[in-house]
Structure 1
């Protein structure tokens, strides 16, 4: 039986990025700021090849009794889902050389898939949304590998993670602008938007290649980061499986409703009477981006990883409380739609962002695991996207005809209660596990 991997596709000869030599970054602060900017800008451009189609609503289009946009979303998420399962092994075992080629090849495949999506007739073009999702689903782990294992990774991870809060609104605004001012049709907008993001992506990938490797001081505090073999991955799961299951269930809830808000925010804004204002996407996501960056990035100041890991649980719990309270107040008529969308977005990303930046990073450092964070992120992501697909498909198969605003506002309240309970249980497990480790080996 043949098995083809990305390593088989990439050239085996070592090729250096054909641009200027590495920049001379000396002070830790300059390295951190430069790395944060490079990672943020790179993933923002990558997001442009993923989510611009969501600005379209495809009104009235249905196939097999299911809304056309829902079919596109589900197809793309299925591609993402497969990528997350594949990425558990690929990202865990990925070596650090030639990562720029992986980024450009995967993004190029995703871009070509949107061209084929526009050319082929509906509903047969839906398959290309799935093809788009698979390569893009691999890229988070590749980009994160540039910044993990550093004393400043909390700040760097927050900067990278908030890129998809900001970019979620930014790329929709770009898509809306292309449709309104350039007459680009709904089917063509994701491919044409790629023209906007392609050249900047090349520049920002080059910037990431200039990021210096972690120092000895970084490795002393955050552990050496290396590829994980299959036996090593199994050992981590065996050692921490109860806590990981609880944490991943929390992440599943956050992923489901973060995806609903992200993919169908255009539909919700239209229901709320804001359908002709493409700038609304950036206006809501910008304060969320700044707030999350401040909250999550400030954990860099907490040098003790065990304490920072517990604080991450507090941040996640607060996110669930904010999400549920925002929806409760909105349904009671006490807050306007704009405040509700910002509040639920802030709360959901307070849960979602730590898992993509600091949660597993601090877990590895806290329990002194020699490996990489990509394995755990992709393990959680694979479960999260299973939940996201399940909810979208169930809503259609069960013929739940409610509009997105009432569906989202009601369900987020139940999400918050369940998520808060699971977060408390996860924090309790890892706190006891950490105390036990201190008693055994005397570490702190």
Structure 2
């Protein structure tokens, strides 16, 4: 008896060590991979390009819009591409994407200004599907909640880091603002290629993974349409609510210095607030790995999202009454926004597929929701450049935030009830099928007995 207990204890210990090693390998590779994707996308934003205008418009803003348009089109193409991408072609996709991204940055340095800004279109086009590809390596596993949370950290650390590296290259190495992105990309390319290869060496999902999270397969056009129609009310609610949240998030980030008084605060304070908020949310999502019930996780996640959007609406509509200081206000707004955004970028759709045994993959959902969200980003950038409105930004933001929070609270609550009702209906159907099967077996046995008599 003691021998059996000891053997079980050793087996449990070995499994924990194996899980820890897998988390460090898969989670670390995914986090670093997407962080390096930012090394191709974001360093150029560290440059000011002072004094350069195109047809009376700011050169940097136009270059950013052009890059995001390429990124947006990549998301649209990715709805088909990522849904159908097979495991054996993922590394090829990564290698081709980063080579095109680097060549576009070289063209950005070579071509004369302002025509070189069009090279940023191909930079965005080549990188728009990278999140979906990297996520495909870690989805459908028992540890996906933890791995997705680690991948999500890259969103927090990468953008600021890429800008800091860009400033270092220009200020310390004295590289021009046009060649700086290509230099950083040249260092990132081999590292990302190695990390991409390490992701391909991850073991296939085990039988236990598949039993808990279901098998992940590619989706053709017909299957994508059937999947969307099957869950259409739910997905429309999520997609439209996400669009409004992304627009609100971009307005907050782009116009923060106009929304609140930043004097008297360190510029690093705002980055620290967003970092703390995001790490809190990702830690919360990571704990979901201890909950095996996929439906329970979905309800908890949507409940947390609803609480966040409702809080955001309450704080916005009652801003004058609450008299919050700027840091507390920013913390609540950031926490409320990022709860929803990171939820659908990390663990939600992995659990959604597992809960309803959907034949498909997370990439389809993430790329689709990103395409809709980045449509909102383009709108914000164009609004920023082409509409020079003299408005009270704090009043405008609180009004917008209040109504967005209210609409999203209703949308996510309806989505939650849809999932609950859908789950109950499917369980009832399964019981009916099992019951009918049992009756057929009993009837068959009774018939055989009569025949024998």
Shorter chain as denominator, the TM-score bin is: 0.7 to 0.9
Q: Aligned pair 1:223/2:214, yes or no?
A: yes
What's the offset of the Cα at 1:440?
1.6
| Residues 207 and 329 (structure 1), Cα distance of their counterparts in 2 relative to 1, 3 Å cut | farther
Q: 1:177 aligns with which of 168, 172, 191?
A: 168
Q: TM-score, normalized by length of structure 1? A: 0.83
Map of 1:95-244 to 2, 5 A cutoff?
95-244=86-235
Conserved? CA contact 1:149–1:224, under 8 Å: yes
Which residue pairs with 1:310 in the alignment? Answer: 299
Which residue pairs with 2:345 in the alignment? Answer: 356
What's the offset of the Cα at 1:334?
4.8
Q: Distance in 2 between matches of 1:245 and 1:169?
A: 33
What's the offset of the Cα at 1:282?
5.5
What secondary structure is seen at the aligned counterpart in 1 of 2:205?
Answer: coil
Q: Distance in 1 between matches of 2:193 and 2:349?
A: 29
| Residues 341 and 404 (structure 1), Cα distance of their counterparts in 2 relative to 1, 3 Å cut | same
Q: Aligned pair 1:255/2:242, yes or no?
A: no
Q: 1:424 aligns with which of 397, 413, 417?
A: 413
Which residue pairs with 2:34 in the alignment? Answer: 43
| Residues 207 and 90 (structure 1), Cα distance of their counterparts in 2 relative to 1, 3 Å cut | same
Which residue pairs with 1:375 in the alignment? Answer: 364
Q: Distance in 2 between matches of 1:329 and 1:60?
A: 42
Structure 1 gaps, min length 5: 1-23
Map of 1:382-393 to 2, 5 A cutoff?
382-393=371-382
| Residues 348 and 190 (structure 1), Cα distance of their counterparts in 2 relative to 1, 3 Å cut | farther
Q: Distance in 1 between matches of 2:157 and 2:407?
A: 27
Q: TM-score, normalized by length of structure 2? A: 0.81
What's the offset of the Cα at 1:389?
1.5
Q: Distance in 2 between matches of 1:55 and 1:146?
A: 31
What's the offset of the Cα at 1:44?
0.7
Which residue pairs with 1:344 in the alignment? Answer: 333
| Residues 344 and 69 (structure 1), Cα distance of their counterparts in 2 relative to 1, 3 Å cut | farther
What's the offset of the Cα at 1:57?
4.3
Which residue pairs with 1:414 in the alignment? Answer: 403
What's the offset of the Cα at 1:114?
2.0
Q: 1:283 aligns with which of 258, 272, 278?
A: 272
Post-superposition Cα deviations, 1:196-224, rounded to whole Å, max 9, x if no partner, equal: 53343244323323321110111111111
Conserved? CA contact 1:154–1:296, under 8 Å: yes
Conserved? CA contact 1:169–1:284, under 8 Å: no
What's the offset of the Cα at 1:259?
4.0
Q: Aligned pair 1:301/2:290, yes or no?
A: yes
* Greater Cα shift, 362-371 or 192-201: 192-201
| Residues 151 and 94 (structure 1), Cα distance of their counterparts in 2 relative to 1, 3 Å cut | same
| Residues 45 and 123 (structure 1), Cα distance of their counterparts in 2 relative to 1, 3 Å cut | same
Structure 2 gaps, min length 5: 1-14, 433-453
Map of 1:313-328 to 2, 5 A cutoff?
313-321=302-310, 323-324=312-313
Conserved? CA contact 2:259–2:397, under 8 Å: no
What's the offset of the Cα at 1:261?
5.0
What's the offset of the Cα at 1:32?
2.4
Q: Distance in 1 between matches of 2:280 and 2:430?
A: 38
Q: Distance in 2 between matches of 1:275 and 1:177?
A: 24
| Residues 284 and 308 (structure 1), Cα distance of their counterparts in 2 relative to 1, 3 Å cut | same
What secondary structure is seen at the aligned counterpart in 1 of 2:287?
Answer: helix
Conserved? CA contact 1:312–1:358, under 8 Å: no
Q: Distance in 1 between matches of 2:392 and 2:188?
A: 33
What's the offset of the Cα at 1:272?
3.2
What's the offset of the Cα at 1:415?
2.7
Conserved? CA contact 2:288–2:297, under 8 Å: yes
Q: Aligned pair 1:272/2:262, yes or no?
A: yes
What's the offset of the Cα at 1:126?
2.4
What's the offset of the Cα at 1:148?
0.5
Q: Distance in 2 between matches of 1:96 and 1:400?
A: 49
| Residues 53 and 36 (structure 1), Cα distance of their counterparts in 2 relative to 1, 3 Å cut | same
Post-superposition Cα deviations, 1:279-320, rounded to whole Å, max 9, x if no partner, equal: 667534432342122011111111111111111212222333
Q: Distance in 1 between matches of 2:164 and 2:393?
A: 20
* Greater Cα shift, 322-331 or 293-302: 322-331
Give the number of equivalent residue pairs: 418
* Greater Cα shift, 402-411 or 31-40: 402-411
